[in-house]
Amino acid sequence: DTGVSQDPRHKITKRGQNVTFRCDPISEHNRLYWYRQTLGQGPEFLTYFQNEAQLEKSRLLSDRFSAERPKGSFSTLEIQRTEQGDSAMYLCASSTPGGKETQYFGPGTRLLVL
């Protein structure tokens, strides 16, 4: 059991740069979720996929945020023109079908925008 993995674990970038994060879910899980967590807060839902279909993206924080899951396996989250307010932990989770079951989280990517 390899669990959910995320890469990179840490990213430091300058304001205005684009960044891309990768998430590899548990292999038999067809649902994949992205969350953002800022300091002192609980995770905040951003978007989710069922297989390659992005079924909810209205809660992405702005049009600078986009996510893909082209082959229904790994997913990428891109932030364009980063701002200091984007500094946060970005968490990925996966689950089996049904939407009511446990979501398994990866270790997260910590982003710092200077």
Residues that bind other proteins (CB under 8 A): 4, 31, 33, 35, 40-45, 48, 55-56, 59, 89, 91, 93, 99-108, 110
Residue closer to other proteins by CB (options 51, 80) is 51
The Cα–Cα gap between 18 and 64 comes to 9
By DSSP bridging, strand 44-50 and strand 104-105 are unpaired
Q: Quote the least distance from Cβ 64 to other proteins, whole Å.
A: 20
Location of structure tokens 């997260």: 108
Residue closer to other proteins by CB (options 67, 91) is 91
Q: Quote the least distance from Cβ 104 to other proteins, whole Å.
A: 7
The closest of 73, 89, 66 to 18, measured between CA atoms, is: 66
Residue closer to other proteins by CB (options 5, 80) is 5
Q: Quote the least distance from Cβ 15 to other proteins, whole Å.
A: 23
Q: Which two tokens stand for residue 94?
A: 């996966």
Q: Quote the least distance from Cβ 76 to other proteins, whole Å.
A: 18
The Cα–Cα gap between 17 and 31 comes to 29
The closest of 90, 94, 81 to 11, measured between CA atoms, is: 90
Strand partners, 113: 13
Residue closer to other proteins by CB (options 6, 82) is 6
